[in-house]
Structure 1
Amino acid sequence: MHIDEILQCLRAVHIAPDVFVRTSSEEHKRRSLAIYKQLDAAGYIELRDAEQLYCESCDEFAADSLAVGKCPACNAAADSNLCENCGLAIQHSLLRDAVHTPCGHALTLRPIRQAHFNFERLAPTLDRAIEGSGWPDTIKHKEIEWLRTELRALPMSRHFDCGVTLVAPAEVAGQTLLTWFEGLWCFDTGIERICKQNGADYDDTMRSPDTKLLFFMGQDNRFYYTIGVTASLLARGYAIPHNHAIQDYYKLEGAKFSTGRDHAMWADEVARDIDPSVLRYYLARIAKAFGSDDNDFQIEGLVRAAARIHLFETALRKHAGSNAKLTVDTLKPERVLDIEHYCQAMHEARVWAALDAIDAFFEGGGLARSEAGASATEISVFLSMLHPVVPVLAARYGAFFFGAGWRPGLDNCAVWPSADTLSVMDAPLFGEPIPDAFIAAYEQRFRAAPATT
């Protein structure tokens, strides 16, 4: 159910995954067991005595979201894996007031034999790798602090019906791999699939200095991606991720999205009334870095995003009918500097900073002037910078000015206007004003005072 909903929301905002991995697929199960065996052969997996939460009422072990309680560090609601509030990887023995979600009864602890990732052995190498990485400082410092002050082995298996089942060694046979390892190894399964599709060798690809892994995630995934996934790469002889783009949760009107409280919106629903390019632009604009606590979705911001897109389009359309007169000129040094700032921000996966560079390019160049002052070069560069955020918009205007063969590019973007381009841009604007009915429904749903009795 959720997979279909997620894919539908992605399609609504013009996103199509190159590879979509199902953790239930035989392909992924095989790949996950192969990674486990590699880590075991390298000496990073140990069997240790541990404890797992158990429901006496249901006569079964509990794990993942089926065991909930309070975080031992911040006292926020958490499940038996991770605290979404502070990012702590929770040990079953430390979860406070643990209850079994299917029946609501209190959980007890039972001793088990469990596979663990031996982080103690890898810690010095992992510490040096993260210290020397180009990760954002906030993320880098948090993970190094864990390695230096809270270092411990992390469980990799447990008694649970869902997941990839271990068949050896005998002491843990029948247990399933922890979701925060096996589930996150989907990227490995996806890379292997892409390599096969392109006739490339997986191991050569993973070891190539030209290969860079970038991960995009919400704050709840931070710990296991930056520690667990990174360690599983390093322990197998591969480079650690080039970067991690981690966000705080998007908030809606100052509060976390919550489907249970109907405090949420779905992208496909919003896209029925709001052009997907406007929605993409606004979501990118408020997708700030982890720890900034500055990513609140509000209707006023969506209205401003539509107005900004409208401004861009108005500036572009003033050149309609004079395509052939546009010149191919060398950009001014100030605009070249804007491009450099943009490229650096995109390289570091700081999309919000890239949007600031786009604004600087737009405001400082001929596009923003009332008189027709932009060159073909400037228009092509501007559309190329916009393309990753609003690809449908950029492609439509690129084809209008330069023909169907236009492609975004910043290195060699001086292109001549096509002789067969249209003289009139008669397609509707992407940045149409947000409908009054949408604004009214939004305010009624999320801002109306609660009824009193």
Structure 2
Amino acid sequence: MEKISRYLVTAALPYANGPVHIGHLAGCYLPADIYVRYLRARKADVKFVSGTDEHGVPINIKAMQENVSPQDIVDKYHRIIGDSFAAMDISFDIFARTSSPVHHKTAADFFKNMYDKGLFEEKETEQFYDPEKQTFLADRYIVGTCPICGNERAYGDQCERCGTSLSPEELINPRSSLSDAVPVKKKTKHWYMPLQHYEPWLKEWLIEGHKEWKPNVYGQCKSWLDNGLHSRAMTRDSNWGIKVPLPDAAGKVLYVWFDAPIGYISATKELTEQWADYWCKEDTKLVHFIGKDNIVFHCIIFPSMLHGHGGFVVPENVPANEFLNIEGQKVSTSRNWAVWVHEYVEDFPGQQDVLRYVLAANAPETKDNDFTWKEFQDRNNSELVSIFGNFVNRTMVLMHKLCGGKVPPFHADVRDDRDDLMRVMLQESKARIETALETFHFRDALAEVMNVAREGNKYLQEKEPWIKAKTPELQAENQALIDNCLHICLQLTANLAIFINPFLPTTARKILHMLKLVDRVLDWENAGSTKLVSVGYSLRAPELLFAKVEDAQIAQQIEKLHTRAAASMAGVVSDAASTVPTTPAHEPLKPEIQYDDFAKLDLRIGTITHAEKVPKADKLLKLTIDLGFETRTVVSGIAEHFTPESIVGTQVTVVANLAPRKMRGIESQGMILMAAHDGKLVFMNGADTVAPGSSIS
């Protein structure tokens, strides 16, 4: 592209079936925000769009888990996700939704355009069908026993215990997760996109035309093309999604990976009436920020869709990141092994820049990287506090102490080579930061910003203005040298605000506040200047930019991570991603017991097969519970929280060796475990369904 008149930057649409964790931030949202903030500082014409992906099987599954409608799920998580991004200063121009009317029309029209051009193949195939619910089943709706590890709750596309990719045919004893019925094969018609027809164009555009792309992206795309592409279905049988706009397509919706990337287009339509300028004019630079699991969709399928439709620009770059692990383990929402963004902003209020810094400094740009809470603490204390914050604070304190709180003049008659080197250093650093940002090397750019702060500390230490002002007589004699040192340090501080702004915007504005500078100083054209703060201007009192993170805070986070994961694995609590955290009022601990006391409990998983109210007892329900090896009657005081019909089929944790006890004339053969949450009772069952009778250990 010879000329760039405008930029369109997209960040992957997160599924609206759970909150976002720090792996999501590090993967695409923070890098995208850094890039966009830099472009805005360059005064570029740029639009930054994203939104929630609100269709597809994961939404339906979450709705079933929470016993609500898919619309309830996407409404809930669109808000949670949007709030999390806002709290982390991710500066979208619009955060849209694929359930919006604009998107439905845009996606349907896009499909119809391709259909009218004859770009789809109609195929009739056999797919799994639930005979009880009378609906076709996506692979995720089929569960069974994994042939590799024996997990009885493996999905038809993957076993989440061992990670093996599966097909429904490979499952042992497959059944529908909707009804528990055995699925059968039934013929259905769908529309396929013959990706193999786009191979010549893809090879010319991508393989020959974009060798500058990141090796992980380029290599994955080349591998796909070398192995040959195949036709891929662009429609699905479902009642949730964008209806296929054809007369003979009842009960069919657009495949979520056809629908979702069109969300970038519909979001831009909602944002501006000039949306076509950003999608259809050749002097637009389109950049997709994604994680590595989305490479094929953004680099092969979506560009092929855009090319087939015609009239749209295709991406100039797709700087996908690798994955971020947590404390040496892969992020797992099912095991609750994650650091959730909405929890971080509650635990570390006002410290969004610390997390932004740590994730940017340790970004998984070329390989999977590991986040640890110890590194979080070390980077904050040793880098943000001791290097960056220390330089700014020392400069401001010394300026107030030795220069009367005003910007001192620079005396050319006493300047030295060290002063001149600082000016040269600023220009060279600006160039290196620019190059790194424009080539998506954000770790290198941030490291160079920190080097500027290091150079400032080194310069200040070498000049020692406090020594030159040890006595009033010395200060009077050396005031010109003191002025020069602090003048340069103040100009350097203003430059640090410009350099750090794409990464830590809140920190940049704190510096501006102390220096009494307006926001436009953050324009990139001002970077490298040594005339940003005016001589003789009174500045505000110094404020600490960062606070130390204490050992106790880190220990608490590590304990939370391990405790929740252990609880999830034991089937004691459900996936924390499905709830918004609250601050519970905790009951005091009961007297301490020994392990042998706990070991006496026999905890088993059971399934409620029947429930009815106990006559003349407002609080009691009589439950029939299948323990696998026998059926038990349990009387439970949960009638004020649940109706009998709403809990049939629910799995519960049963104290199976509790001595029988008569309640209202009914012998209760055990007790189910419940938790109190926001004044309501919650079943203590696992996120995954397990065989009745399974023991908990």
TM-score by length of 1: 0.84
Distance 1:420 1:105 in 2: 78
Which of 137, 140, 152 is the aligned partner of 2:218?
A: 140
Deviation readout 1:291-344 (Å, 9 max, x if unpaired): x121x2211111023222112111012221355127698965554343333223
Q: Which residue of 1 aligns with 2:504?
A: 390
Distance 1:2 1:338 in 2: 41
Which of 92, 95, 101 is the aligned partner of 1:26?
A: 101
Deviation readout 1:108-160 (Å, 9 max, x if unpaired): 44332111112122221122111212421221121122123131011100111
Which letter maps to 2:119?
Y
Which of 416, 422, 428 is the aligned partner of 2:539?
A: 422
Distance 1:399 1:406 in 2: 13
Which of 435, 440, 444 is the aligned partner of 2:559?
A: 444
Q: Are the counterparts in 2 of residues 399 and 405 from structure 1 also a CA contact under 8 Å?
A: no
- How far the C-alpha of 1:35 sits from its partner, in A, is 1.5
Which of 258, 261, 271 is the aligned partner of 1:194?
A: 271
Percent identity reads 22
Q: Which residue of 2 aligns with 1:39?
A: 114
Q: Which residue of 2 aligns with 1:314?
A: 390
Distance 2:187 2:113 in 1: 27
Deviation readout 1:390-446 (Å, 9 max, x if unpaired): 101111102322523443233333243146552421x3x342112443222123233
- How far the C-alpha of 1:384 sits from its partner, in A, is 1.6
Q: Which residue of 2 aligns with 1:208?
A: 281
Which letter maps to 1:168?
L
Which of 438, 446, 466 is the aligned partner of 1:355?
A: 446
After the TM superposition, which of the residue ranges 264-273 and 321-330 deviates more from structure 2?
Answer: 321-330
2:340 paired with 1:266: yes
C-alpha distance 434-376 of structure 1, shift in aligned 2 (>3 A): closer
Structure 1 residues 25-424: aligned runs within 5 Å: 25-63=100-138, 65-67=140-142, 100-103=176-179, 107-131=183-207, 132-133=209-210, 134-168=212-246, 170=248, 172-196=249-273, 200=274, 202-235=275-308, 236-274=310-348, 275-289=351-365, 292-294=367-369, 296-307=370-381, 308-310=383-385, 311-320=387-396, 321=400, 324-325=407-408, 332-365=423-456, 369-370=460-461, 371=463, 372=485, 374-413=488-527, 414=529, 415-418=531-534, 420-424=537-541
Distance 1:377 1:368 in 2: 13
Distance 2:145 2:290 in 1: 23
Q: Are the counterparts in 2 of residues 330 and 377 from structure 1 also a CA contact under 8 Å?
A: no
Distance 2:185 2:176 in 1: 12
Structure 1 residues 5-16: aligned runs within 5 Å: 5-16=80-91
- How far the C-alpha of 1:179 sits from its partner, in A, is 0.7
C-alpha distance 345-159 of structure 1, shift in aligned 2 (>3 A): same
- How far the C-alpha of 1:450 sits from its partner, in A, is 6.6
Per residue, is there more strand in 1 or in 2?
2
Distance 2:98 2:557 in 1: 36
* SS at structure 2 position matched to 1:212: strand
- How far the C-alpha of 1:263 sits from its partner, in A, is 2.3
C-alpha distance 46-81 of structure 1, shift in aligned 2 (>3 A): farther
C-alpha distance 282-168 of structure 1, shift in aligned 2 (>3 A): same
Q: Are the counterparts in 2 of residues 273 and 435 from structure 1 also a CA contact under 8 Å?
A: no
Unpaired segments ≥5 residues, structure 2: 1-75, 411-418, 464-484, 568-594, 600-697
- How far the C-alpha of 1:46 sits from its partner, in A, is 2.2
* SS at structure 1 position matched to 2:197: helix
Which letter maps to 1:394?
A
C-alpha distance 165-334 of structure 1, shift in aligned 2 (>3 A): same
Q: Are the counterparts in 1 of residues 239 and 253 from structure 2 also a CA contact under 8 Å?
A: yes
- How far the C-alpha of 1:91 sits from its partner, in A, is 10
Q: Are the counterparts in 1 of residues 112 and 245 from structure 2 also a CA contact under 8 Å?
A: no
Distance 2:178 2:281 in 1: 47
C-alpha distance 246-440 of structure 1, shift in aligned 2 (>3 A): same
Q: Are the counterparts in 2 of residues 158 and 176 from structure 1 also a CA contact under 8 Å?
A: yes
Which letter maps to 1:443?
I
Q: Are the counterparts in 2 of residues 206 and 238 from structure 1 also a CA contact under 8 Å?
A: yes
C-alpha distance 258-145 of structure 1, shift in aligned 2 (>3 A): closer
- How far the C-alpha of 1:231 sits from its partner, in A, is 1.6
- How far the C-alpha of 1:79 sits from its partner, in A, is 6.2
Unpaired segments ≥5 residues, structure 1: none
* SS at structure 2 position matched to 1:205: helix
* SS at structure 2 position matched to 1:248: coil
Which letter maps to 1:432?
A
* SS at structure 1 position matched to 2:110: helix
Q: Are the counterparts in 1 of residues 516 and 540 from structure 2 also a CA contact under 8 Å?
A: no
* SS at structure 1 position matched to 2:395: coil
* SS at structure 2 position matched to 1:24: coil
- How far the C-alpha of 1:279 sits from its partner, in A, is 1.4
Q: Are the counterparts in 1 of residues 196 and 231 from structure 2 also a CA contact under 8 Å?
A: yes
* SS at structure 1 position matched to 2:407: helix
- How far the C-alpha of 1:258 sits from its partner, in A, is 3.1
Alpha-carbon RMSD: 3.7
Distance 2:143 2:434 in 1: 43
* SS at structure 2 position matched to 1:53: strand
- How far the C-alpha of 1:43 sits from its partner, in A, is 3.6
